[in-house]
Each structure stands twice: as C-alpha cells, then as structure tokens.
Structure 1
Amino acid sequence: MNDPDGMEEAGGLPGLAAAPAPGDFALRVLRHVGIPPERYDTYVRLGTPAGGLFVAASPHAVTGAALAAPDLTATAFEVRHRSRTGRSAIGAPRPFSGVVPALRTGRAARLPIDLTGLTEAERRVLQAVRAIPAGQLRPVSWIAREADRPAVDVVPALTHNPVAVLIPCHRATHDNGRPCDAGYPPEIGDALRRSEGIDTRRMAELSAAGAAFLGSDTTHIYCHPTCAHARRITPAHRVPFRTARDARQAGFRACKSCRPLTS
C-alpha cells in the first residue's frame, strides 16, 4: 500500500496514540495556557520506609500528603485532594522545596504546611504533634497540654491528619506508652518508628510493665522513655515510673528537655 505521507515509517498516528504522555504533561499544558500556579496544587510520589507517599503543595506550602495503598492510587489521591481542599492536584516532576530533606531526617517542624479547612482544635493538636522530635514519642496527655486542648480532642485530630508522615502522628502514644496509630495501621506506624531508631520492642516491654516514664537515680530527673536524656541512662541506674506523680513522690523532677507532665 502506498504511504504518501510516510506515516508507516514514522509510526503514524497509531504509534503516537500508543506513546504514554509525559508525567508532567498536564502541568505543562496549564503553564502553556497561562493558568497561574496559585490556582492549583502540584504533587509528587516519594519513597518512605512505610511505602510511597503522595505529597501535594501550593506554591507556598504543603497542602496534603497520603501514603499510597491499593485503594489510593495517584488518581484516587487527586480526587481525594480536590474533595478536601477544593483545589486540583497536578503531577509535577519535583517536590515542594524542603520536603525531601524533611522526609530523610524526620525534621519537618519548619516545613510550611497549610492546614486550612481544619477546625481550630485539629490545627492546635497537629501543630503540637509537629513539635515532637524525630526518634521520640509523646503521650496524648502531653499533646493535649501543648495544644491547650482537652485530651478528648487529640485522637480525632490524629485520625484526620491530612499530611501523613510529615505531620508525625506515628510519634503519638496513649498515656500507657502504647502507640496510638489513629491515622494508619500499626504496621505502618511501626515501620516509621523503626526508621527513626525507636526500639519498638523495648517500648512494648516498657508499656507492658507500666513504665510510662524513666528516671535516673544519679540525676533524679525523669523523662519520657524516648527522650535523648533517657536513652543515656544505663540499665543499672534506670528507675521506671507509672505516673509523673509517682516520680515526684519519689523525689524526682521533670526533664526540662522532653517536659513530661508534672502531675
């Protein structure tokens, strides 16, 4: 058959139809037609110890993040993001500035995050969670104190965390030391905690023994078990306490670094 236009040799239109569009094709189109970046968000998929993480951002702040799952594909993330924020999320070749080092180090407290759309209670709780250092855990009562909210507000806010991992809800525990994991399955929380050097087996042992705090019989200071100071207490000098009141009655004072509850 004659091919006056040479379409067969070049692959023709069928070949063009079969070629996948570039991942940032929609973003290129928006930029080409002059749609201002302020009118939409962009997103990427990044790796974490718990699997893929979709991270969306406006030009000024992270606006959402969710762990990939069989029922949360890129398309599903786009739909969920638009439903929650009212803004489209468009695939982009690069993440928002600062996201990659924040994920690598676990230090995202200074990363701009937009919590518009949440209640005042939810924002306060999640901001308190952002202050928990990487590699450390804090109980619900501590989070409630830092957020200046009732303890009953904490778990619902963790459950509705719209910026998974970057707002580190895996660092929250119940007051007995057991991981809270209100926003995702325990295996996800365990993977994230292990990646930060938290000894999950040791934490489970302390929780089972009712040791919510650890004191040092040399300094007479008590801490949360994952506090940097508590990790330096040698086994022979560790004094476990069920409550802060027990620690105080034994003559111990609260650590000024991890600031456990004092009553």
Structure 2
Amino acid sequence: MNGDDQRAHPGPDGGPGGGLGMPPVPADFALRVLQRAGVPRERYDTYARLDTAAGGLYVAATTEAITGAALAAGGLTPERFEELHRRRTGRSAIPTTKRFPGLMTALRTGRARNLPLDPGPADGAEAAVLRAVRAIPAGQLRPLSWIARETGLPTAGQVEPLVGLLARNPLVVLVPCHRVTHENGVPCDAAYLPAIGDALRSAEGVDMTEVHRWSHSGTVFLGSATTRIYCHPTCAHARRITAPHRVPFADAREAHRAGYRACKSCRPLPA
C-alpha cells in the first residue's frame, strides 16, 4: 500500500474514515468503485465494524452468508483484518456501512444459530466443533467433554486438542466459544483473553462470580432435590432451582449414585 491509497476504511463507529488532512471518503466508496468496474461479487466480501460487549467486532460476509468475524481487541486494524481475511478465504474484504440481515439482532440477543455462517476451508473435525459450539444456548456454558460428545469424538483423553480448534475460530462471538469451559468449569477462552470472554458472558447474564465459585468448590453439576434431575450449573433449569433445594455434584457418577437423572435439556455427559 502506498501513500496515495485512499481506500475507505471504517472509522471507530463503523463509518468511513479519511486520510490525514484529507476530507472524509464517501460511505461505501470502495464498494461502489468495484461495482462500477464490474468486478464479480464472488471475488470479494464486504465487512462492517460493529459494537459488542467486548468492543469492536469486524464481520465479513458474502450476499448469502457471514464468512468471518474478529474482535478489534488487541489492536486489530481494518487493514490487518482485510489481510487475515484474504489469507484465509482467498477473497478481498471491502468495507461497507451495511450490516448483514439479522446480524444486529443476533449480537444483541446472543442468539446467532439462525444466521447463515460459512467458516471457509475446514476439515470434518473443525466443522463439527463449530457446529457443536453454535448449539450452546446464550447465557449457558458447556465443558470441552460435552463438545467432544456432540461431535462424536472420543471423550477420554481427547478434549484438549479441541482447544486448538477453538483458538482458530474464524467466527468469534457468532460461534460462541466463550461459552466453552474446561472440565472444572473454568472458561476455556482459547480464542481471546479471559477478560474478553468474561465481558461476553456477563452480557449474556452469566454470573462469573458464581461460575468461579463453582469451579473452586469442585461443583460440576447442580441437582434439584425436588425433581431429582441434575444439570450444568448455567442450564436454564438449574437457574430455577432455589438455594435450599440445590444439590452440588462433582461428577455424573456421584449424581447417579444419589438417584438423580440427567437433564434432557442441557444433556450432561452420562456417568
């Protein structure tokens, strides 16, 4: 890129920015240039910068699906995002002020399962992991062993390789890897710093103080003394258990020995 390059890049609010001492570049200028030049749409994606609880989020998309998402935390610039997107997908990323349909609602509610996502080149295991993570409801957490079970991968001694796959998540926030924990309940946060994960979880109503208290006490599941059902602690059903009726369990075997059965909603691993 030379000093005369005047491509439009989003400013802090997602709008176009201008060069030093130059007037602002018109919105979607670069996109309009490509369209006027007749460049085929399949040769480039568009992207916008949006606000989230963890700061700015760059989201790229074709006309049919979202193809990439990366948090601006850590100093990720529009130019760097474009470079990484081109390296991963083979297509250019052009700034725009238009958001993909349904994206703003998905970010506001934490419910992105209905958004069409295209993670790009991915082997079978990686694609399966991304699908499993997408299935975790907003405001809930699941351990790595749960992800392994959902993907059909062996659970014994095979959960840690999942961390590497999560670290390469090309659609952060939209594929909510901040909802994945280690076996002791401590958040995994393979794709970003814990403070970012905490911000995303808190925005979804996850009480991180309580999560850390469970992990320190060894509580992996919560049972209800009235229904005799045990759940992941952040399951919607577990949240309705009143304090006098909560029964903590260190594992599924302990819950089964006490005569409890697994929740059919959050589906904890069997003993």
Say yes or no: TM over 0.5.
yes
The SS at the match of 2:236 is coil
Which residue is equivalent to 2:8? none
Percent identity at matched positions?
62
- Aligned-partner residue type, residue 164 of structure 1: V
- Aligned-partner residue type, residue 138 of structure 2: A
Q: Distance in 2 between matches of 1:113 and 1:148?
A: 22
Q: How many residues align?
A: 247
Superposition RMSD in Å: 1.1
Point out the structure with max Rg over C-alpha: 1
**Offset of 1:69 from its aligned partner?**
3.0
- Aligned-partner residue type, residue 130 of structure 2: L
1:161-210 CA-partner distances (Å, limit 9, x unpaired): 00110000000001111100011000000000000000000010011000
Normalised by the length of structure 2, the TM-score is 0.89
1:43-79 CA-partner distances (Å, limit 9, x unpaired): 0000000000000001111100000035311111011
Q: Distance in 1 between matches of 2:36 and 2:65?
A: 23
Which residue is equivalent to 1:5? none
Between Structure 1 and Structure 2, the one with more helix by share is 1
Which residue is equivalent to 1:179? 187
Which residue is equivalent to 2:70? 66
Please identify runs of 4+ aligned residues in structure 1 that moved more than 6 A: none
Gapped regions of structure 1 (runs ≥ 5): 1-16
Q: Distance in 1 between matches of 2:114 and 2:162?
A: 21
The SS at the match of 2:47 is strand
- Which stretch of structure 1 is more off in the superposition, 120-129 or 143-152? 143-152
**Offset of 1:99 from its aligned partner?**
1.0
Q: Distance in 2 between matches of 1:83 and 1:36?
A: 19
Q: Distance in 2 between matches of 1:203 and 1:156?
A: 23
1:4-58 CA-partner distances (Å, limit 9, x unpaired): xxxxxxxxxxxxx832322411100011112222221000000000000000001
- Aligned-partner residue type, residue 232 of structure 2: H
Q: Distance in 2 between matches of 1:173 and 1:183?
A: 12
Tell me which of 203, 211, 215 is aligned to 1:207.
Answer: 215
The SS at the match of 1:66 is strand
- Aligned-partner residue type, residue 93 of structure 2: A
Which residue is equivalent to 1:256? 264
Tell me which of 41, 44, 47 is aligned to 1:40.
Answer: 44
Which residue is equivalent to 1:225? 233
- Residues 1-263 of structure 1 mapped to structure 2, 5 A cutoff: 18-150=22-154, 151-263=159-271
- Which stretch of structure 1 is more off in the superposition, 198-207 or 118-127? 118-127
Contact 1:125–1:149 (Cα < 8 Å) also in 2 = no
Normalised by the length of structure 1, the TM-score is 0.91
The SS at the match of 2:85 is helix
